[in-house]
Structure 1
Amino acid sequence: MRKYFLLIIAFVVFSCDKKSKVEKAVEEIPVEMKVVRFEQAFFESKPEDLATVKAEYPEFFPEGTPDEVWLEKLQHPQWRELYAEVERKYKNFSGKQTEIEELFKHIKYYFPTIKEPKIYTVIGEMDYNSKVIYANDKLLIALELYLGGKHKFYSDFPEYISQNFEERQMLPDVVTSFANGVVPAPLVNDKTLLAQMIYYGKELYLKDILLSEDYTDAEKIGYTPQQITWSKENEYFIWMNFIENQYLFNTSPKLLSQFINLAPFSKFYLEIDNESPGRIGQWIGWQIVRSYMENNPKTTVQQLLKMDAKVIFEASKYKPSKNE
C-alpha cells in the first residue's frame, strides 16, 4: 500500500514538474499586442468627422454603403445607449489585453509560426455566431456580446445562447476562432457523427492546453456548472445510447441537430431531453480526445489535430464508467 502511495506521489510530482516546464517556457515567449478601440473612435466622433474616421478605418466601412447609414448609427439613441453600456464595462481594456497576450504566449508555444494579431474592439450587430473573429493579423472582438448574460439588451435571446454573453467567455471564444484555422475539417468523405464529435473534441482540447488553469470545463464549452454536472453524471448513459443506436458511424445529417449543433438541449427523444445540455456530442468528443492524449502522451498537438477521427477513437480506450 505504501509503495502504491509513493507511486501516486511520484506521478503527481512528475506531472506538476512537466506542467511547470511548459509554463516556464511560455513565460519566456515575447508577446506584445496592440489594441485598436474602433468603437470608441467611431462613437466619440462628430458627424463632421465621419470622413476622417472612414479614412483611418476603411476596413469597417464597406464600399457602396451611403454615409447616411453611418450618421444614423452614430446618432441613434439605442446605439448610443449600447455604446454607453460597453464603455461602462470596457472603457479600460488593459486587463483583457493582458489576458489575451498571455493566451497568445501559449498559442505561440504550441504553434511557433503564428504571429500575434492586432486586437480590434468593435460594437457589431449582436451576431452571436461572430463574437470573435481571428484572421491572421487581426483579432476582432464584438464587445456588445460580453455585457453579462442577464443584461437587458439580451432579453430577446433564448437563455441557452445568452448564458454565454459573459466576460469570461471572451478568451474561450478567441480559442474557438483560432481553432477554426488550425483544426482540419472532417474529410469530405467522412460525414459520420464520430468525425464531428472528434473535430469539436480537438477544439475543446485546445482550450485545455491554451487557457489558464482557472478556466472551468463549463466555461470552455459554454455550459452552466449544472450542465457539466449533468453531463458527467450521465456520461455512461449517453455513451451507451450512442453505441446501442449505432450513431458513431452513422452519416445522417439529423444527428448533427440532435447532438452537435447549438441547441437548448440534446435530442435523445427520451424523458431526459429537457434536462440535457445541447451539443452533448461535442462534450463526448472532448472526453474521447482527452482519453486519447492521456493514453498516448507522446503524441504532439500538431499530430493530434491531423489525426483521423477513427484512429483517435480506437486508440483512446475511452470507456466511461457506470455510476452506481
Structure 2
Amino acid sequence: MIYNVKFHQSYLFFLFVSAFFSSLLVSCTQSTKPDVSAIHLDVKIARFDRDLYAGKSKNLSETNAFLTKKYGTFYDDYVHRMVGNFDYTNQEILTTLYQDSAYSDLNKEVDSVFKDITPIEKDLSETFKYVLYYYPKAKVPQFISFVSGFAVQTPIGDNYMGIGLDMFMGKNNQFYKAIVQSVPTYLSRRFTPEYIVPRITETYAREELFHERDEDRTLLSKMIHNGKILYFMDKVLDEKVPDSVKIGYTQKHIDWCKTFESDIWAYYLQNNLLFETDYQKIQVLLSEGPFTPGLGEKNESAPKLGIWTGWQIIRKYMQENKDVTLQQLMAEQDAQKILNLSKYKPK
C-alpha cells in the first residue's frame, strides 16, 4: 500500500516504542471579515486517543478490528508511520504500547488537559468556513486527535488531518521539561492549546492549497511564498489570534522585528541575499531556531527573518493594491512583481 501522509513541522523525537507567533507591524488585516453565516460547517474531532486507550482493557484483536474499521488509513499510518514501523503487526505494536507505562502516563495527562475540545472544534469550524468562502472547492478533512509520544504534531494524510494533543499540552507541562534535550524550549514553548488551530491552518494551507514550487529557489521567492501563507492565515483565522502565534514568535521577537525592520531589509540588500539560491545561506533566514545567527546583539534577534519579512511585503502589497483579491494573490507566482508593486521600503 502506498501511503500519502505528510508530517509538516514534525518533531521526530520518541518517548516510547523505542523506534520514536501582539502587534501588527504593517497591518492589512480587515477589521471586519466577510459574512460566512450561509456556510454550514460543524467540525468534530474524532478522539482516536481515547478510543485507542480504551482498547487497553479489551481483547486485542477486537480493538484492532474496531480501530481499523473506524479510523482506516489514519490508524494504519499511526501504527506504522508514527509510533511503529512495517516490521511489526498492528497487534504487536498495540501490545508494546499498552505495556509501556510512559504511554499510559502521557495519555492520562493529555486527557486531563483536553477534557473538552468543543472550543477547538468551534474555532476550526469558523476558520474552515472562511477557507470555504475563499476556496469553495476546498475539501475539509476529517480531524483526528491522537497521542504519539511527541513523534508528530499535525500530520496530514488521505482525507484526514491529525492533531497530536501531546504536543499542545501547555508550555510548562512536566513532560516537556523531561525531554528538553530532544525538544528545546524555543519549540516546546509553542506546545499550547492556542496553537492548535493556527498550526492546523498553516499545515492545510501549505500541503493542500498552496504548494511551494521546486523552481522557487531564491530567498525572495521563498520569502514571498511563506509571506502568502501567513497572509492567508490573517484572512481565515479569528482576528483575536495574535501575530506572534501565527508565526511562532514571542512578543519580544515581534517587537525586535518592528524596531529593526529597516536594518533587516538593509542586511538582505547589502549582502545580495534576495536572489541567493545557496541552500545554507538561505536556510539560516528561514529555519526555526532561538534567534538568527549573525544578526542582533546578545542573541535577541528573531528567528526565520526571511519568513517574517515576506509576510510584511505581502501585507504592504495588498495595502498598495486593493483591487487584488486573496485568490489572485495566492495564484501570483512572480515574486519580483509582488515586491515591486508592494513598494516595500521600510524606514
TM-score range, shorter chain: 0.7 to 0.9
What is the alpha-carbon root mean square deviation over aligned residues? 1.8
Report how far residue 226 of structure 1 moved.
1.0
Instruction: State whether structure 2 residue 260 is matched by structure 1 residue 234.
Output: yes
Q: CA deviation at 1:219?
A: 0.7
| Separation of aligned partners in 1, 2:185 and 2:44 | 34
Q: Does 1:39 align with 2:49?
A: yes
Aligned match of 1:29 in 13, 22, 39?
A: 39
Residue segments in structure 2 that go unaligned for 5+ positions in a row: 1-29, 81-85
Match of 1:183 in 2: 210
Residue 280 of structure 1 is matched in structure 2 by 305
Deviations 1:142-196 (A, max 9, x none): 00000111212112221211111011111110111111121231352x3111111
Say if 2:246 is the partner of 1:220.
yes
User: Is the CA contact (8 Å cut-off) linking 2:141 and 2:160 kept in structure 1?
Assistant: yes
1:125-164 equivalent positions in 2, closer than 5 A: 125-127=149-151, 130-135=152-157, 137-155=159-177, 156=180, 157-164=183-190
Q: Larger deviation: 177-186 or 105-114?
A: 177-186
288-297 vs 179-188, which moves further: 179-188
Q: Which has the higher contact order (CA 8 A, sep 6+)?
A: 2
Q: Write out per-residue CA displacement over residues 51-83 of structure 1, whole angstroms, 9 at most, x where no aligned residue.
A: 223223333244652323311212321111101
Matched residue, 1:4 = none
- By percentage of residues, which structure has more helix? 1
Q: How far 1:273 moved relative to its partner? A: 6.5
SS of corresponding position for 1:114: coil
Distance 1:229 1:88, change over 3 A: same
Q: Which residue of 1 aligns with 2:340?
A: 314
Distance 2:158 2:93 in 1: 29
Query: Is this contact kept in 2: 1:227–1:276, CA < 8 A?
Result: yes
Deviation of 1:120 (Å): 0.6
Contact 2:285 2:303 in 1 (8 A): yes
User: CA-to-partner distance for each residue in 1:58-112, whole Å, 9 max, x for gaps?
Assistant: 3324465232331121232111110111000112211211111111111111110
1:301 matched to 2:326: yes
Please say if residues 86 and 144 of structure 1, whose CA atoms lie closer than 8 Å, have aligned partners that are also in contact: yes
CA contact (8 A) 2:285 2:306 kept: yes
Change (3 A) 1:104 1:261: same
**TM-score when normalising by structure 2:** 0.81
Measured after TM superposition, the shift of residue 206 of structure 1 is 1.1
Q: Give the Cα separation in 2 of the matches to 1:57 and 1:277.
A: 43
CA distance in 1, matches of 2:130, 2:140: 11
Aligned twin of 2:5: none
**Structure 1 residues 271 and 95 mapped into 2: Cα distance closer, same or farther (>3 Å)?**
closer
**Given residue 183 of structure 1, which amino acid in structure 2 is its aligned partner?**
F
CA contact (8 A) 2:230 2:247 kept: yes
| 1:250 aligned residue (254, 276, 282) | 276
Q: Which of 49, 59, 83 is 1:49 aligned to?
A: 59
Q: Distance in 2 between matches of 1:31 and 1:194?
A: 37
Aligned CA distance change for structure 1 residues 135 and 46 (closer, same or farther; 3 Å): closer
For 1:259-274, what aligned pairs fall within 5 Å after superposition?
A: 259-267=285-293, 269-270=294-295, 272=297, 274=299
The residue type paired with residue 339 of structure 2 is F
* TM-score normalised according to structure 1 size: 0.87
Match status 1:84 vs 2:84: no
- Alpha-carbon distance between aligned partners in 2 of 1:273 and 1:279, rounded to the nearest angstrom: 17
* In structure 2, distance between residues paired with 1:244 and 1:193: 14
The count of corresponding residues between Structure 1 and Structure 2 is 298
Quote how far apart the aligned CAs of 1:276 are. Answer: 0.8
The runs of 4+ residues in structure 1 deviating greater than 4 Å are: none
**Alignment correspondent of 1:65:** 88
Counterpart Cα distance in 1 of 2:129 and 2:317: 25
In structure 2, distance between residues paired with 1:288 and 1:272: 25
1:57 aligns to what SS in structure 2? helix
Contact 2:52–2:67, Cα closer than 8 Å, also in 1: no
Check conservation: 1:201, 1:286, Cα contact below 8 A.
Answer: yes
Tell me which structure has the larger Cα radius of gyration.
1
Match of 1:37, as an amino acid?
R
For residues 13-46 of structure 1, what are the alpha-carbon distances to aligned partners after superposition, in whole Å with 9 as ceiling and x for unaligned? xx65xx35x1x2x122100223211110111223
- Assess if the C-alpha contact under 8 Å between 1:175 and 1:206 holds in 2: no
Deviation at 1:47, TM superposition (A): 5.0
Q: CA deviation at 1:313?
A: 1.0
Gaps (5+ residues) in structure 1? 1-14
C-alpha distance in 2 between matches for 1:315 and 1:137:
38
